[in-house]
Amino acid sequence: MTSDLSIALAQLNPTVGDVDGNIALIREARDRAKQDGADLVVTGELLVSGYPPEDLVLKPAFLDRVEEKVNALATETAEGGPALLIGAPWREDGKLYNAVLLLDQGKIATIRFKHLLPTYGVFDEDRVFDRGPVPGPIAFKGIKLGVMICEDMWNGDVTECLDESGAEILIVLNGSPFEVDKTDQRLNLAVARVSESGLPLVYVNLVGGQDELVFDGGSFVLGADRQLPIQLPGFAKGQVTSNWSKSDQGWVCAPGEIAETPDDNEKMLASIYQAMVLGLRDYVNKNRFPGVILGLSGGIDSGLSAAVAVDAIGADKVHCVMMPSPYTSQDSLDDAAEQAEILGIAYDTVPIIDAMKAFEGMLAPVFGDTEADTTEENIQARARGLIVMAISNKLGFMPLTTGNKSEMSVGYATLYGDMCGGYSVLKDVYKTTVFNVSHWRNENFVEDFLGPQGRAIPERVITKKPSAELKPDQFDEDSLPPYDVLDDILMSLIEGERAVRDIVAKGHDPAIVRRVWHMLDRAEYKRRQAPPGVKISSRAFGRDRRYPITNGFTNLMWEIEGE
């Protein structure tokens, strides 16, 4: 048995379905680890297929490709150099598993299967994978490695079994997507497993965007003393080789790289902004869009979306268009032009007055003498949506929508209008957070941002009263409660699943709570037709929160819980 061991933590960014490309990432990580003299390379969960592969794993041809490439990679370990501990979907005895494979000495030396299959939130693994038995340790160079896959660490039973079976170091392959405050949650669970077992733990996470999900990395080593000798950065690819030695107290990892993290006051805002940047960057690049097109209105939502887009993919790939109506203020025109200049982006102006007049004339025989209402406002939004889609069709840029979670919650958005698009970075970000994140970006810069190091959003865009500017003297708070009130009610209803009586007990007006509940419930049909967007919270619309469109419980709910 050796008394020294080097384990490389490879925090990689796979693409779902790109088996050849993902295998190439593993091969490159192995080459780097070989130069460092590592004995073993550990990657994230299901890195060969990308995570989550969803129904791709139901295609036999896809699984054939995975197995072919993994077997070919295994032969490369015969020539010396580090062994590989990788994640892949794997078939055995007619069943399909979420597996971890040890590739060593030219073959697949050992296979273990995920025991706990999550079926909550964004996870639906039990639908496509079979549950494996509680795993035993993997023998490697005379050392017993207690290998787990993601969810297996979230419950103490698997760790207990590994400990009782003689495991000496716990190793966890993870595909853990970002949520606000989840970093602390992961670390707390790891500390619990270390405390229960007395064993050190290696945690390797994926990094990168996959549709709505963003994997934020943050891989680490946690010693048996519950200290962190190694911590990789969040939201960025990284690799580090950890050096271990055995003492009378067990295996100890030598101090190594510790990534800098923002202080607690900035941590949440920094992580939200970085998640939006990474999510959009990978959505655009992995889907091979040449860039994005968005309407720049001079308001804060489009202003923040434009800043994120430039930081994600660069100013040369961001195209903005101002689409003024007779109700567009001069401040909005000036603010949009100023921001385009600050960001250095392409910027066009396409007025919609002629389209408004055309629709008014076309619909006059049908509308007759009816009074103008939200119909005419929606026509403006849909005219703008048509323009953005036309530019997208002609130039190939992906249309980026700019609505925030507060608006999406209560339906303060127009189908086939401002909801028109291929992706949204603010879909899971409440309006109050939009303000706070905008201030953060103007005062902070991260190395991998591609935009300006200073201010990215004009100050007046952040400070002026929000308005859709679809009629004279219109402000959001004419139709909605103040955003601090609205967002607190929405967070209580959505993230908290709080009873109405509890929300009223916090000091909110019962009539306002009832109105917000009805608006939230009635807007489900709109959200079903909205583009995907970056998941930020524990209850993002789409994967996390799935409510029926046809829903008769709302009135009954008020009878049960109301006054």
Catalytic residue among 69, 125, 150, 420: 150
Question: What tokens does 504 get?
Answer: 């009223």
Q: Which residues are within 8 A (CB) of 214 and not within 5 positions of it... i.e. 6 or more apart? A: 177, 178, 208, 235, 275, 278, 279, 534, 535
Contact 244, 233 (CB under 8 A): no
Catalytic residue among 45, 151, 179, 407: 45
237 assigned to active site = no
For residue 173, what are the β-bridge partners? 149, 204
How far is residue 453's CA from residue 477's CA, in Å, rounded to a whole number? 33
For residue 4, what are the β-bridge partners? 245
Type of residue found at 495? E
Nearest 10 degrees: CA dihedral of 541, 544, 548, 554?
-80
How far is residue 136's CA from residue 168's CA, in Å, rounded to a whole number? 12
The string of DSSP letters for 37-87 reads T-SEEE--TTTTT-S--GGGGG-HHHHHHHHHHHHHHHHHGGGSS-EEEEE
Nearest 10 degrees: CA dihedral of 436, 441, 444, 446?
130
Contact 527, 545 (CB under 8 A): no
Type of residue found at 433? T
Pick from 257, 242, 140, 138: nearest CA to 200: 242
- Please count the helices (runs of H) and the strands (runs of E) in the chain: 19, 20
Map tokens 């960014």 to a residue.
Answer: 13
HSE toward the beta carbon, residue 405, CA cutoff 13 A: 30
Q: Is 369 helix (H, G, I), strand (E, B) or coil?
A: coil
* CA-CA-CA-CA torsion sign (106, 112, 117, 118): negative
For residue 170, what are the β-bridge partners? 146, 201
Distance of CA 552 to the CA centre of its chain: 32
Q: How many CB atoms lie within 10 A of CB 464?
A: 17
Contact 217, 207 (CB under 8 A): yes
Contact 41, 70 (CB under 8 A): no
Catalytic residue among 114, 286, 317, 431: 114
Pick from 271, 366, 281: nearest CA to 318: 281
45 assigned to active site = yes
Type of residue found at 22? N
How far is residue 292's CA from residue 302's CA, in Å, rounded to a whole number? 13
The string of DSSP letters for 149-181 reads ETHHHHSHHHHHHHHHTT-SEEEEEE--B--TT
Q: Which residues are annotated as catalytic?
A: 45, 114, 150
